[in-house]
Amino acid sequence: MADSVMRRRSEIGIRMALGAERGNVIRLVPREVLVLVGAGILTGIPAALAASGSIARQASRIDPIAALRTD
């Protein structure tokens, strides 16, 4: 979030100079962050579920006890 504020510092300054209310400017960056987080969740959860199903089908069929045995 701090990086986003630093990148948009001049935009924030211009908004303040043109008379934007402080509360609107303060909410600008967290709103953008929440949109990015929401997009990540909406794409990440289905991708993780699809990947877990794929990985489960490719799981090893070796008996864990046999794999640990050092005969």
Instruction: Give residue 9's domain range.
Output: 2-68
Between 66 and 14, the higher pLDDT residue:
14
Angle between helical axes of 9-17 and 22-57 (0-180°, round to 10): 150
Q: Give 27-37 pLDDT, tens digit per residue.
A: 888 888 899 89
Q: Name the token pair of 57.
A: 């089908």
pTM of the prediction? 0.57
**What's residue 44's pLDDT?**
96
- pLDDT band (50, 70, 90) for residue 42: very high
Number of structural domains the chain divides into: 1
% of the chain beyond a pLDDT of 70: 96
- pLDDT band (50, 70, 90) for residue 60: low
